[in-house]
Amino acid sequence: MPPPLVLAVSKGRTAKALVPLLSRAGIDASALGHDDRTLVRDVGALRFLLLKADDVPTYVEHGAADLGVCGRDVLRERGSDLLVPLDLRIGRCTMVVAGLAAHSGERADMARVATKYPVTATAHFAARGIQAEVIALAGSVELAPTVGLADLIVDLVETGETLRKNGLVLIEQIATVSTVLAVNRAAYRLRHAEIAALIHGLRKGIDQGAPPSGVG
């Protein structure tokens, strides 16, 4: 019997959102929803590794996992050399530039930008000819303009409510972000039949979960 396929998944909301999708694909992944501290969970022919989102591409790229489920934002920031055969259509949000409402109409030829995505932010502003001083933060990015640490932020938003509550307004959209399936290149060659079958099942699960035509 071949060893299980190893699938790295970010802990928390992504893992829980993945459960119904895998169920529609014919995979019992109820163990992903268990609220315990077990980081390795075997379910049939799959072994799940529960990781921090930022670590998922690293495990997959270096072969500790065959596949991974993570956001496009993480892949873009990491510059990971992975195959991305499938958009899972969960965890959709938007990466934006935001700032204080009082300064939203000002042109910024130079700006201090606070973000959890320094690589993405630097590339975005450079492409627009803006000399940005990018300040990397681990969290509470929305606070930075309020206390004068930065002029702008680059962050992910779902509804924009957090921006509004902190006196910020959306200035520019950078990209739409969703959760994707990423695959190690060597694993895709060596275990192609197994991975292709999993991708096929997931694609069917995605289609079954999509709203009817004309809805949504």
Which of 62, 55, 61 is closest to 14 using CA atoms?
A: 55
pLDDT at 69 over 70: yes
Q: Across residues 109-134, what is the average pLDDT?
A: 92
- What CA–CA distance (Å, rounded) separates 11 from 33? 10
Radius of gyration of the CA atoms of the chain, in A: 19
Nearest-5° angle of CA 81, CA 84, CA 86?
Answer: 170
The pLDDT of residue 105: 54
The pLDDT of residue 210: 62
**Mean pLDDT over the full length of the chain:** 89
Lowest mean pLDDT among 75-84, 125-134, 178-187, 206-215: 206-215
The pLDDT of residue 212: 45
Parallel, antiparallel, or unpaired for β 131-136 and 110-115? Answer: parallel
185 by DSSP, 3-state: which?
helix
Give per-residue pLDDT as tens, 47-57: 999 999 999 99
CA 55 from chain center: how many Å? Answer: 11
- Give residue 104's pLDDT band: very low, low, confident or very high (50, 70, 90): low
CATH number of 93-177: 3.40.190.10
167 by DSSP, 3-state: which?
coil
Instruction: Note the pTM of the prediction, 2 decimals.
Output: 0.85
Extents of the domains making up the chain: 5-91+178-209, 93-177
37 by DSSP, 3-state: which?
coil
- Give residue 216's pLDDT band: very low, low, confident or very high (50, 70, 90): very low
Q: Across residues 171-197, what is the average pLDDT?
A: 96
Structurally, what CATH architecture does the domain formed by 5-91+178-209 represent? 3-Layer(aba) Sandwich (3.40)
pLDDT at 31 over 80: no
Domains 5-91+178-209 and 93-177 in one fold: yes
pLDDT at 214 over 60: no
